[in-house]
Amino acid sequence: MQDGCPDLSTAGRRNAWKLVLYWLPPISISERRSPWVGAMTPEELQKSIEPVKDDARIMADELHTLEEMLAMLKQRDQKESEYLQVLDHLRHFFLTDLVQHMLNEEQVFFPAVQQLPQGYWKVVRLRKEHGELRDAIEGFRTALTLESYLGPETREQALWRLVNEAGAILAMLRAHASFEIELSRELQGQRA
């Protein structure tokens, strides 16, 4: 430990989280609660859920379409231009629709979730998952941009890697959406 800071270079990966917790300031129970706890009426709760539910329906339809497109690419030989067309569509979806959806959730849905029992920790999980999705999307965008600079043999490998990365992002998104649906139901139960 130097200057009161632990030496992260000697910390094992498995124990790194302990160091993070060490440096987090202690949080009292009252601080874990949202400033909105008890302040949202049932109508306000419903308003916080509705846009997310509407977006979730649209996202579910889009996810299904994108998964079908990826499956089509994996089933038969496609021309490079067809791969690029599907991958560009995915890039556009990730960077516009999905990012906007996540921002909307963070502004409207997260404050309502924070009111649930253990809501602080549920929002922590949601924020963590949003961060992981954003990181994966940025990696996908960067790899897709760099693809055009590759030689023909390397490009084919890169395209398959991008197809697999897109599939992984969609799988992460599907799991995340399941948790959000669970939270929406919990919020509706509290409203009733």
* pLDDT of 120: 95
Cα-based distances in Å from 144 to 82, 112, 117: 14, 36, 41
Question: Taking the domains of the chain in order of start, what are their residue ranges?
Answer: 38-191
Q: Which of 115, 96, 114, 116 is nearest to 104 (CA)?
A: 96
Mean pLDDT in residue range 149-174: 86
Indicate if the pLDDT at residue 14 is higher than 50: no
* pLDDT of 23: 39
In degrees rounded to 5, what are phi and psi of residue 2? -125, 130
Query: Hey, how many other C-beta atoms are within 10 angstroms of the C-beta on 98?
Result: 21
3-state secondary structure of 21: helix
Dist. CA 100–CA 172, nearest whole Å? 17
* pLDDT of 123: 96
Q: Of residues 122 and 19, which shows the higher confidence score?
A: 122
Name the β-bridge partners of 2: 5
Name the β-bridge partners of 5: 2
Cα-based distances in Å from 134 to 63, 129, 150, 152, 177: 16, 9, 25, 29, 15
For tokens 């961060």, the residue is 131
Q: Band of the pLDDT at 158, cuts 50, 70, 90?
A: confident
| HEC string for 82-145 | HHHHHHHHHHHHHHHHHHHHHHHHHHHHHHHHCCCCCHHHHHHHHHHHHHHHHHHHHHHHHHHH
3-state SS of the chain: helix, strand, coil percent to 5? 80, 0, 20
Indicate if the pLDDT at residue 133 is higher than 90: yes
pLDDT tens track for 27-78 = 444 434 444 445 677 777 777 777 677 666 667 777 777 777 777 777 766 6
In degrees rounded to 5, what are phi and psi of residue 76? -140, 165
For residues 23 and 87, the answer to whether their CB atoms sit within 8 Å is: no
Mean pLDDT in residue range 147-172: 86
* pLDDT of 51: 64
* pLDDT of 55: 63
CATH for 38-191 (1.10.390, 3.30.450, 2.60.40, 1.20.120): 1.20.120
Rounded to whole angstroms, the maximal C-alpha distance in the chain is 60
Indicate if the pLDDT at residue 119 is higher than 90: yes
* pLDDT of 114: 92
